Structure 1
Amino acid sequence: MSLDDRKLEVLRAIVQDYVETREPVGSKALVERHQLGVSPATVRNDMAVLEEEGYIRQPHTSAGRVPTDAGYRLFVDRLTRIKPLSPAERRAIERFMVGVVDLDDVVHRTVRLLAQLTRQVAVVQYPSLSRSAVRHLELVPISTTRLTLVMITDTGRVEQRLVEMPGPVAPDDVWEMRRRVNEKLAGQKLADTPVLVQKLVDETAPDRRPTMACLASVLLETLVERSEERLALAGTANLTRGGVLDFQGTLRPVLEALEEEVILLKLIGDLEPSTTRVRIGDENEIDNLRSASVVSSGYGPGATIVGGLGVLGPTRMDYPGTIATVRAVARYVGDLLAQN
């Protein structure tokens, strides 16, 4: 059975009231608080249909109704507009992010900002190396036989490695290697670099090939072999605010899930540009998070997605506001990365 617009309005009102009051919602309260334009008897009939369809339920006898996971899903799917951020919220984002100094600073400010604005647990994935491109490679002599290799990606991520050379290397030779590696690799996606690194070795004069081969092995380690992803987490204390999450009386399963980086990456990763994903209750693949909702979005410069961010909280969350905040912060971080 498809619900008509009036019943959807009743469901929307129930969700809004329950999110705000944390109390089951009765028909009398709905009529008093919302301009539904129908009688209390009609509202009761509509609530009976919503309950029969599985969109609301009665937690105990003589109580009002609360939304089910299916009810929240229908509410989110039928959102006609996302609640716009207030001017104060937009200013808060801009103020919080002004003067960032490097990528670590961007990530840590972003995760704290998300947790503060949504009052949920916030997760931000560092820009993935596999999705990044080389911006610049620097070779810094430490001694005649030692160099520091510094790689800077287009997302601002910095990786450093020590290179032990097979013999002394003249300053002019260091300069020439720096020129050649940047000429070959700058602007290239990290995933495309292995064949280019091999070409660097093949195209080097035989007498200098051992030196370039030594540098190439460290280059490959830096560009390719770092497969682990990094995450930042903030706002775990928000789980306890006002009995936010009631997982059969304990938060332990949620806290255990939040300690697993693989789980967190599943929650916020693999998103297309300009996509916001909402997973509600049982839609979560992780058993320990079946009583939670996750709102996530990809971020990156322009149309390129380099990482994910999002928040985790109770199914009883302010979905319009949370979705708007996650989208706005993702867009702002993407603009920051594009400017750097």
Structure 2
Amino acid sequence: MANAEERRFEVLRAIVADYVSNQEPVGSKAIVDRHNLGVSSATVRNDMAALEEEGYIAQPHTSAGRIPTDKGYRLFVDKLAEIKPLSSAERRAITSFLDSGTDMEDVLKRSVRLLAQLTRQVAVVQYPMMTNSTVHSLEVVPLTPARLMLVLITDSGRVDQRTVDLGDVITVDNVARLRTVLNSALTGRKVNDAAVRVAELPEQSPQELRDVLVRVCTVLVESLVDHPEERLVLGGTANLTRNVADFPGSLRQVLEALEEQVVVLKLLAAARNPGAISVRIGEENEDEQMRSTSVVSIGYGREDMLLGGMGVVGPTRMDYPGTIAAVRAVANYVGQILSGR
């Protein structure tokens, strides 16, 4: 029985490969001609009948070959013994392209463009989550005698800028004192801890800085407890229009869903650990508008700290081994670059 099951899986693998490549239903003769399975057409037909009965393949119309179902793709993905490796040239191109990024934002934009090009799908990258970051420094810049700019920088390279209207003028010396007080309280702390510390600062500071600190700390707390991790970079949307037939009657719905930030964040929600790939296929997607798509996502960062998520969205008729390899490689390089910044 084990041999029969293995053979049926090889038939399913052949159907997936041919359908992904040609977008045409696959018949038994094509499988025998293109794949060296060592069995007759009759045996392949019997295996296809069993696969269809179990819901792994379907016949789109009478007298046609078979195509994989969501269940069939799921079995195929779950049994991937190895992921198609990227070539040395592809790896060098990824490293060179991302290493050329001038700052975190540039690296993220480059990673989206690169991932969209490698997979020919829609790529999405989530900005590093502030809640998992540590405060690297806080710069206090006088814009006018009564207005300051606060520039919060995290260890992941994330930069958050806020302006504060003081309601009164502040001297250059007091700006310097303010900068020292804030950095002493924040630098090296996790963002959540920093938010608590900031809220306590006004009561613990010199009287002459207290009114200024009340205003500054109010703005800083908003910056630290906001949800800036919900910022996303999206690219390659036009790739979905290459094969409209992959989204019968639903391409517009998919494109509209991708414009909704909350929907896209849900797609990345499964990416909780750096390096751990998640693949959701068709009906497995929570959002109804996305049920004609597959989502390959991953977390990026260091082994001990998740910075954010990234992934690709495409039709269920997807090159899963190649897509998984590309997503994993780009996430690995982005995690290394941002963790080292």
> TM-score interval w.r.t. the shorter chain?
over 0.9
CA contact (8 A) 2:296 2:312 kept: yes
CA distance in 1, matches of 2:245, 2:142: 55
CA contact (8 A) 2:125 2:232 kept: yes
Query: How far apart are 1:214 and its partner, in Å?
Result: 2.2
Aligned: 1:266 with 2:266? yes
- Once the two structures are superposed, what CA deviation does each residue of 1:233-256 show, in whole Å capped at 9, x if it has no partner? 1111111214352323x5211111
Equivalent residue letter for 2:151: V
Aligned: 1:247 with 2:248? yes
Give SS of 1:219's match: helix
Equivalent residue letter for 1:252: R
The equivalent residue for 1:315 is 316
Report the aligned-residue RMSD: 1.9
Query: How far apart are 1:332 and its partner, in Å?
Result: 0.8
What percentage of aligned pairs have identical amino acids? 58
Query: How far apart are 1:117 and its partner, in Å?
Result: 0.4
Structure 2 spans left out of the alignment, 5+ residues: none
The equivalent residue for 2:160 is 159
Equivalent residue letter for 1:260: E
Equivalent residue letter for 1:282: E
CA distance in 2, matches of 1:60, 1:225: 52
Give SS of 2:217's match: helix
Query: How far apart are 1:39 and its partner, in Å?
Result: 2.1
Query: How far apart are 1:228 and its partner, in Å?
Result: 6.7
CA distance in 1, matches of 2:61, 2:168: 79
CA contact (8 A) 1:244 1:314 kept: no
- Once the two structures are superposed, what CA deviation does each residue of 1:290-310 show, in whole Å capped at 9, x if it has no partner? 111111111123431121111
1:208–1:288: structure 2 CA closer, same or farther, 3 Å change rule?
A: closer
The equivalent residue for 2:219 is 218
Aligned: 1:290 with 2:291? yes
Equivalent residue letter for 2:239: N
Aligned: 1:8 with 2:2? no
CA contact (8 A) 1:302 1:334 kept: no
Aligned: 1:44 with 2:45? yes
Structure 1 spans left out of the alignment, 5+ residues: none
Query: How far apart are 1:19 and its partner, in Å?
Result: 0.7
Equivalent residue letter for 2:266: K
- Once the two structures are superposed, what CA deviation does each residue of 1:157-215 show, in whole Å capped at 9, x if it has no partner? 21122223344333332222212211211122222223201332222123332222222
The equivalent residue for 1:92 is 93
CA distance in 2, matches of 1:239, 1:208: 56
TM-score, with length taken from structure 2: 0.94
Alignment of 1:41-120 (within 5 A): 41-120=42-121
CA distance in 1, matches of 2:288, 2:209: 57
Give SS of 1:116's match: helix
CA distance in 1, matches of 2:281, 2:146: 57
CA distance in 2, matches of 1:333, 1:70: 32
1:207–1:243: structure 2 CA closer, same or farther, 3 Å change rule?
A: closer
TM-score, with length taken from structure 1: 0.94
User: For structure 1, which segment, 251-260 or 71-80, has the greater mean C-alpha deviation from structure 2 after superposition?
Assistant: 251-260
Query: How far apart are 1:218 and its partner, in Å?
Result: 1.9
The equivalent residue for 2:236 is 235
CA distance in 2, matches of 1:331, 1:99: 16
CA contact (8 A) 2:125 2:234 kept: yes
Equivalent residue letter for 2:272: E
Query: How far apart are 1:329 and its partner, in Å?
Result: 0.7
CA distance in 2, matches of 1:176, 1:244: 64
